[in-house]
């Protein structure tokens, strides 16, 4: 055996061992598997695919059901595929904080449980609060009630508007008016 063959053989053996360890049952090969969320389609949701960039979307166990977080960058794509945005803030919080995200539905947290009977449990929902922390529990309640595709917006409405600063002032008044009862809008609140 020449020198080149002697050096190649151990390298190949090492590569084989590392590769075999990654695929052996019970061996992770050093790789971390993290759930991919959100899925783009029902088949993708059910496939068990994993995504290495999902650190910030790790499920939070609340009320016994996992709630995945999505980033603000993903919202428009999800909405274009049919996801519904539910903002759980009350009107005072919307007036004093970030405006509603365009095309979102304002259902205050204290009214959400009652509204669930009118909602499709198979649709995708993105639950939004001001900064994303207060929407985890309502999203978990939706999951517990049988809604399978519920996501929390990481960073909340603030994170969304940080990505869309040019539209914030322009859309704020209209989105707030859309979220208010018609009687409040007529009075100019």
CA distances, 133 to each of 25, 117, 148, 156 (Å): 37, 25, 20, 8
Q: Find all residues with CB under 8 Å of 155, minimum gap 6, and list them.
A: 71, 72, 131, 132, 162
Helix %, strand %, coil % for the chain, to 5? 50, 15, 35
The helix (run of H) or strand (run of E) holding residue 43 is helix 42-47
Amino acid 116: pLDDT: 96
pLDDT below 70 — which residues of the chain?
A: 1-65, 166-189
> What is d(CA 170, CA 98) in angstroms, rounded to the nearest whole number?
12
Query: Can you give the pTM of this predicted structure?
Result: 0.59
Amino acid 114: pLDDT: 95
Amino acid 61: pLDDT: 45
Domain ranges of the chain: 1-28, 59-187
**59-187 maps to which CATH number?**
3.40.250.10
The helix (run of H) or strand (run of E) holding residue 94 is helix 91-96
Whether the bond between 38 and the residue before it is cis, its omega within 30 degrees of 0, is yes
């Amino acid at each position: 055996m020449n020198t080149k063959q002697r050096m190649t053989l151990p390298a190949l053996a090492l590569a084989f061992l590392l590769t075999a360890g990654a695929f052996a049952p019970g061996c992770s090969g050093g790789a971390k598997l993290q759930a991919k969320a959100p899925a783009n389609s029902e088949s993708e949701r059910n496939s068990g695919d994993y995504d290495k960039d999902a650190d910030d979307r790790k499920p939070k166990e609340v009320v016994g059901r996992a709630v995945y977080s999505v980033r603000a960058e993903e919202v428009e794509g999800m909405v274009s595929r049919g996801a519904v945005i539910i903002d759980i803030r009350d009107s005072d919080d919307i007036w004093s904080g970030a405006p509603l995200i365009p095309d979102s539905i304002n259902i205050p947290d204290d009214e959400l449980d009652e509204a669930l009977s009118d909602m499709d449990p198979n649709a995708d929902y993105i639950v939004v609060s001001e900064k994303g922390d207060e929407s985890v529990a309502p999203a978990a309640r939706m999951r517990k009630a049988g809604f399978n595709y519920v996501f929390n917006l990481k960073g909340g409405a603030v994170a969304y508007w940080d990505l869309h600063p040019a539209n914030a002032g322009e859309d704020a008044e209209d989105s707030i008016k859309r979220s208010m009862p018609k009687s409040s809008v007529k009075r100019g609140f």
